[in-house]
């Protein structure tokens, strides 16, 4: 296929649905987690769940960049603007993630904080170059997809010798999160749906390749199929997962061969390794503190680390007590199982991070009216 609309062909999608149904073993139920928010969005937007046979259930994972940002990190960014007088630049979705005290970065801006939306890390660097009297902080978030552009900007700022630019680095790592989900006692609890495998992320895998998934696929005996973001990509990946489960295999397969290789983008990986190193530990919303699951600036670039420059400390803050984002990000609750879903919590007034971005499970369900998804609790 050459064109995007061919990957959205209804007849082909129904054919794939029928092919999946034919492969199912009688009486067996299959549950697969789509790790990535892009897949969650595609599944909701294109009604993929409606095309799957009743025996196949999709469980949403934590792969939405703003969803996994804990409140404490948003508080740090707000503090940089309000308490330290800096100009904080970040991506649009981040501005709406709930912080503590009913705040968000947008609301802090209404209180006078200089917080700006940018399209890229480069925008933040250019602002620092244009206005040398202003301390500019780039609040860097996201998985491996957005990490290389941040690394480029840090290296460039160092070469320019900029003294008014720094980065609050909250980039997180996909393999660590999947491992944490599989190792979580909640996932193996008697009332949880046992996961049979993963639809692996698309864009992340273009950077890291397919190889990093091999370790936990083997250790936890869970197949992974990396898939593109179009509906036929996702359905083909589900068919490949069903076949692996039926064969008793737990391999890493690549459906998204038009963009993903085994090794990934080696140039980007080398750049990231030069500029950023693993943190000992990092708090994820919903998953808690995970070792070696996020990045900070390497010691040689410490001058550009906003946490060090402004002496920030980290204070964990619990979510709204009624918000089920944590359980949704661990794959043990569905959005409509939250009592706030669609009433108190909407995309216009998000109470939790999963309702903010189009990649968040709650926002995707709300936007595309997918209120009748399968219950998560095992039948």
Closest approach, Cβ 104 to ligand SF4, in A, equals 13
| CB nearer to ligand SF4: pick between 75 and 305 | 75
Sign of CA dihedral 142, 38, 34, 376: positive
| CB nearer to ligand SF4: pick between 207 and 345 | 345
Closest approach, Cβ 307 to ligand SF4, in A, equals 27
Report residue 11 as tokens. Answer: 């007849």
Tokens 């670039």 — which residue? 301
| CB nearer to ligand SF4: pick between 77 and 345 | 345
| CB nearer to ligand SF4: pick between 34 and 324 | 324
CB 321 within 8 A of CB 360: no
Kindly provide the b/e burial profile for residues 29-63, where b requires at least 16 CB atoms within 10 angstroms of the residue's own CB: bbbbbbbbbbbbbbbbebebeebbeebbbbbbbbb
Closest approach, Cβ 203 to ligand SF4, in A, equals 23
| CB nearer to ligand SF4: pick between 248 and 321 | 321
Closest approach, Cβ 312 to ligand SF4, in A, equals 26
Residue number, nearest CB to ligand SF4: 352
Residue 203 DSSP symbol: H
| CB nearer to ligand SF4: pick between 124 and 355 | 355
Closest approach, Cβ 344 to ligand SF4, in A, equals 7
| CB nearer to ligand SF4: pick between 164 and 346 | 346
Q: Which run of H or of E encompasses 57?
A: strand 56-63
Rounded Cα–Cα distance for residues 306 and 320 (Å) = 28
| CB nearer to ligand SF4: pick between 97 and 217 | 97
Closest approach, Cβ 145 to ligand SF4, in A, equals 23
Closest approach, Cβ 338 to ligand SF4, in A, equals 3
| CB nearer to ligand SF4: pick between 254 and 357 | 357
| Alpha-helical segments (H) within 166-224 | 174-183, 203-208, 214-219
Q: Please state, in angstroms and as integers, the Cα–Cα distance from residue 369 to each residue in 2, 56, 324, 362, following that order.
A: 30, 20, 19, 10
Closest approach, Cβ 316 to ligand SF4, in A, equals 17
Rounded Cα–Cα distance for residues 208 and 176 (Å) = 13
Widest Cα–Cα separation across the chain: 69
The footprint of ligand SF4 (CB under 6 A) covers 323-325, 328, 335, 338, 340-341, 345, 350-352, 354-355, 362
Collapsed DSSP state (helix, strand, coil) of residue 34: strand
Measured in whole angstroms, the distance separating CA 137 from the mean position of its chain's CA atoms is: 22
Sign of CA dihedral 101, 104, 109, 114: positive
Nearest to 217 by CA among 194, 200, 238: 200
Kindly provide the b/e burial profile for residues 343-366, where b requires at least 16 CB atoms within 10 angstroms of the residue's own CB: eebbbeebbbbbbbbbbbbbbbbb
CB 275 within 8 A of CB 140: no
Closest approach, Cβ 9 to ligand SF4, in A, equals 32
């Amino acid at each position: 296929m050459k064109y995007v609309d061919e990957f959205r062909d209804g007849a082909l999608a129904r054919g794939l649905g029928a092919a999946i149904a034919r492969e199912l073993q009688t009486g067996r139920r299959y549950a697969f987690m789509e790790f990535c928010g892009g897949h969650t969005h595609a599944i909701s937007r294109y009604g993929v769940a409606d095309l799957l046979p009743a025996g196949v259930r999709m469980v949403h994972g934590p792969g939405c960049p703003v969803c996994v940002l804990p409140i404490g990190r948003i508080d740090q960014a707000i503090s940089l603007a309000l308490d330290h007088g800096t100009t904080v630049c970040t991506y649009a979705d981040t501005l709406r993630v709930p912080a503590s005290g009913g705040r968000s970065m947008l609301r802090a801006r209404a209180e006078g904080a200089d917080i700006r939306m940018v399209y890229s890390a480069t925008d933040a660097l250019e602002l620092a170059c244009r206005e040398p009297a202003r301390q500019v902080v780039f609040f860097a978030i996201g998985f491996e997809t957005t990490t290389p552009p941040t690394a480029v900007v840090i290296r460039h700022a160092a070469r320019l010798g900029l003294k008014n630019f720094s980065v609050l680095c909250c980039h997180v790592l996909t393999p660590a999160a999947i491992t944490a989900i599989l190792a979580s006692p909640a996932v193996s609890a008697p009332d949880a749906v046992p996961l049979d495998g993963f639809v692996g992320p698309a864009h992340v895998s273009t950077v890291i390749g397919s190889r990093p998934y091999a370790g936990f696929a083997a250790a936890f005996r869970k197949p992974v199929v990396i898939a593109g973001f179009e509906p036929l990509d996702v359905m083909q990946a589900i068919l490949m997962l069903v076949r692996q489960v039926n064969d008793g295999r737990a391999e890493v397969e690549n459906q998204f061969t038009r963009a993903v290789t085994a090794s990934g983008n080696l140039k980007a990986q080398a750049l990231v390794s030069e500029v950023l190193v693993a943190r000992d530990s990092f708090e994820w919303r919903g998953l808690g503190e995970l070792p070696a699951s996020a990045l900070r600036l390497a010691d040689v670039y410490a001058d550009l680390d906003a946490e060090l420059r402004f002496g920030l400390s980290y204070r964990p803050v619990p979510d709204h007590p009624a918000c089920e984002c944590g359980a949704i990000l661990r794959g043990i609750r569905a959005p409509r199982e939250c009592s706030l879903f669609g009433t108190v919590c909407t995309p216009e007034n998000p109470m939790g991070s999963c309702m903010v971005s189009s990649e968040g499970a709650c926002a995707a369900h709300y936007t595309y009216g997918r209120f009748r998804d399968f219950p998560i609790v095992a039948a």
